[in-house]
Structure formats: C-alpha cells, structure tokens
Chains A and B, each alone.
Chain A
Amino acid sequence: MSLETVVLEHAPSSYKVYLALFRNVRNSGFLHQQLLARNADFEYAFIDASTIVSRVHLLSAVFKAVNNSVNGALKTPNVHSETVVSLSASNNISEAYRRFGVSPSTTDLFVVKITFPSDSSPVPVSADAISQHLKDNVEGDIVPPTNEIVSSIADVKAIRKNYKLNGLAWLDTIKDEVVKREEIEKLVLSGMALRGL
C-alpha cells in the first residue's frame, strides 16, 4: 500500500498530511455518495485527479486548507472540504466541489487525508488505519503519486478551462511542453491564491 506522508514547509508539525492516488477506480459513485451522506468515516478530500496539473498544485490546496484550519478561518465544514475548495480560482463553493471533487464518473482519484489533534479526537487516526480503510473502501489500483503519473493523468485542456487560461497567445506559442506545463502550473497557483479576490 503506498500511502504517502507529506511534510509541508511551514505547516505546524501537529498536522499530518497523507496522499494516495488510485487509478481505474470502479466505485467512485459509492465514494461520492459517502460524502453527500456526510458519513463521518469518510473524512477525506476525494479529488478527481484529472483536474490536477502537478503535485505542487495539489499540495498548494492542502497548504491553504491547513493554514485556514490553523487560523480558524475555514470557509467550509472541515479541512478536507477546504482542500477541495482551495483548488478553485473562484469563491463559489458548490461549483468547486462539482469541478474538483469526486463524481460518479471519476476514474483517477486523489485522496488526501489531513489529521491533527482536536478536542474531540486528541489522538489522530494512524497512517496504518487510513491505509486499511482506503484499501477496504476504494476499488481501484493504488499507484505512487509521482509527478510523472500525476501529469500523465492531467487533463490539461480541462485544467486550462477551469482556471480561465484559454486565449493566452504567449502561452500557446511555447514549444517546450515542460516549460509550458510549468507556466500553466504557475498560473494555476496564482489563480488559486487570488480565488477571485
């Protein structure tokens, strides 16, 4: 099982971040349903991986959500929904869930789990327990969330649309695909940071 533990720069050490990437997911309808039903056993950010251009893109959303949680400034019910919504370049919360969150048609799924001690659960759930729970509940092939795999899953056309990056002539003229991706990533990050502000 490759559940990755990520240590983010400038995140408080009490916050732990875990990532898992699943391909060929066959029960995304079920997973989506658990979120809609607010099933407390499914406190995850379930993200459609095709909307993610790079690891840094996803980690940026995590960082924002953690920061809002630390500051007591969540705009959504919890740090997981906050991660999904942080991906958005606008302030429209339901649109963000629709765009970036799992849907019944999702086949490539990013799972983010963020834990920290709270009054109701002073000892956060362990990595092993998370691994086991995902193994029992996500029907799909777990793959390491490397940048290569992430960018091969990315639907760049849809991503450009999500962040209103169409019609940028200078971007279209970049020949080197790697450079172009980097530019797109940078534009995505600033769109997220500004979130329509």
Chain B
Amino acid sequence: MAAAVSDAALAHEFPLPKILTNPASTPPTLITQGAEGRLYKTTYLLPDIACALKYRPPKPWRHPILDQRLTRHRILSEARILAKCRRDGLRVPSVYALDESAGWLMLEWIEGTPVRVNINNRLGNRTEGIEDDEELKELMRKIGMAVGKMHSIGIIHGDLTTSNMMLKPPAGDQPDNATGLEGEIVIIDLGLASGGVHDEDRAVDLYVLERAFGSTHPRAECIFNEVLEAYKKSFKQAGVALKKLEEVRMRGRKRSMLG
C-alpha cells in the first residue's frame, strides 16, 4: 500500500525519539518538522491525556558534545520559561515532563489551530470590508492582550508570529474547528524566549510580530493596529515600549533602504 510505504519512508527519515518507541494506546503523529526540531502529538501517562512532544534530534553536522550541550540548554530554557509563564498566569502549554539529555519536552496539548489558520480562513478571498470586521478585530485585541501580559511578566518571546499562538476554542466546541474566532489565545513555541524587561526588547518583539503579520496576512495589515491598541492598555510600561517601537521601525526602514 502506498500510504504504508510512505509511512515507512517517513519513519526511516525521522526515527522516533526513544521514548516514543515504547508502547502507547495510539501511535504518535508527526505534526511539524522544522530545522531544529519536530513536534509530535502523543499521549502522556494515560490514553485520554493528549500531549505535544517537542523533540530536538541530534544534529550530525555539529560537534557531538557541543550539540548535546545546546540541546540541553534549549530544552531547559524553553521549559523554565513555560513554567514561569504559567505560574504568572499567562496561558501557555504547561510542562508535563522533560528529558533534557534525550532532547525532548512533553507539553500540554492545546486544542485548536494556530491563529494564522483562523485569520486566513476568516479572510478567505475577501479584499473588502476587512477593516470593519469586528470579530476579527476582537481577535487582534486578544492577541495584543496576550502579548502584553507576556511582556508584563518579564518575558520576551523572540519569535512572535501568528503561527506561534494557538486559538483554543471554548470548551464544548468542535475541536479544530478553525472557522470560528472565539476562544483563548495560547502563546506557544517559547524556544527562543528570554527574560527581559527592557522596553527595547519588548519593542523588537512587537516589531517582529508586526513584520511577520504583514507578510503572512497582508490583507489584514489594516487592522494590526488593534493589536497595538490592546497591548497599550494591558500593562503600565506598554506605552514606553510602543514609543520604542517607532524607533525600531525607523531603524528597520533605514536598514532596508541601505539594502
């Protein structure tokens, strides 16, 4: 069977981390495969507890000792930051388990879809009336509030995009119903995050989001300001960060003019 062959090929290309080779009620599913790591959907402890397993496989092109050290560092760093966020009341996946030497991190599975998907489904092929889409604007404000909350507890994300936030539908909704805009923003992928309370760092975080948003959702750029407006209201220092954002934009523009 064709499917079986390609599954086998896939398994060969991406051997499972050892922990996932042990028996489980359902086989792990590979969700994404990036340069640095892979993300599997699997189960934690019991068949009815879904989890995300983030695995950073050994990189054959790197010196083994250095590679091991880097992997450990990244796993621990992401886990520590997730734990801190959660303690401080920010919605991020909670940490279930980790093995920094084996290069994996098990996280709470977040139902729903990356916000990118919800926005794109909402936009469809529309070109008009986007600036009056109140529900979409409400979603933008939720994003602004989530980012503001994250900054207010002293965390800089480092890779803010609409792919690195999930929209978790309200309980009882069909899971993975990616057409609705209701639900809760859950920030994910804190692999590049760091502690930081400097306005400059916050501004750069916002700038990264702004640029990523513009290129991923060009037609919705007209309502991005809703994100910043909500951000502004979300914590005391937000205004200063937004002022800095203007400077960061200027620098960005100069840089692109210089080519």
Q: Which of B63-71, B86-94, B174-182, B222-230 contacts A (4 or more CB under 8 A)?
A: B86-94
Q: How large is the interface on B (under 10, 10 to 19, 20 to 34, 35 or more residues)?
A: 20 to 34
Given A13-B23, A171-B89, answer yes or no on A191-B83 (Cβ-Cβ < 8 Å): yes
Q: Which of A20-28, A45-53, A122-130, A182-190 contacts B (4 or more CB under 8 A)?
A: A182-190
Chain B residues in the interface with A (C-beta under 8 A): 19-20, 22-25, 42-47, 49, 76, 79-80, 82-83, 86-89, 94-102, 108
Contact of B22 among A11, A187, A190 (CB under 8 A): A11
Collect the chain B residues with CB atoms within 8 Å of residue A59's CB: 45-46
Collect the chain B residues with CB atoms within 8 Å of residue A37's CB: none
Collect the chain A residues with CB atoms within 8 Å of residue B47's CB: 9
- Closest partner residue, chain A, to B49 (CB atom): A56
- Closest partner residue, chain B, to A14 (CB atom): B22
> In chain A between 1 and 53, which residues have their CB closer than 8 angstroms to a CB of chain B?
8-13
A sample of 16 cross-chain residue pairs with beta-carbon separation below 8 angstroms, ordered by A number, consists of A8-B45, A10-B20, A10-B22, A11-B23, A67-B97, A73-B101, A171-B89, A186-B108, A190-B94, A190-B96, A193-B79, A193-B83, A193-B98, A194-B79, A197-B76, A197-B100
- Closest partner residue, chain B, to A67 (CB atom): B99
Collect the chain B residues with CB atoms within 8 Å of residue A67's CB: 19, 97, 99
Q: How far is the CB of B23 from chain A (nearest CB, A)?
A: 5
* A194:B83 contact, CB within 8 angstroms: yes
* B80:A9 contact, CB within 8 angstroms: no
In the complex, A169 Cα to B96 Cα: how many Å?
23
Given A63-B97, A168-B89, answer yes or no on A190-B102 (Cβ-Cβ < 8 Å): no
Given A168-B87, A189-B94, answer yes or no on A9-B99 (Cβ-Cβ < 8 Å): no
In the complex, A5 Cα to B26 Cα: how many Å?
20
In the complex, A71 Cα to B98 Cα: how many Å?
13
Q: How far is the CB of A170 from chain B (nearest CB, A)?
A: 4
Given contacts A11-B23, A59-B45, 11 further A-B contacts (CB under 8 A): A9-B42, A9-B45, A9-B47, A9-B49, A10-B42, A13-B23, A60-B97, A64-B97, A170-B88, A190-B94, A197-B100
Collect the chain A residues with CB atoms within 8 Å of residue B100's CB: 197
In the complex, A71 Cα to B97 Cα: how many Å?
15
* B95:A9 contact, CB within 8 angstroms: no
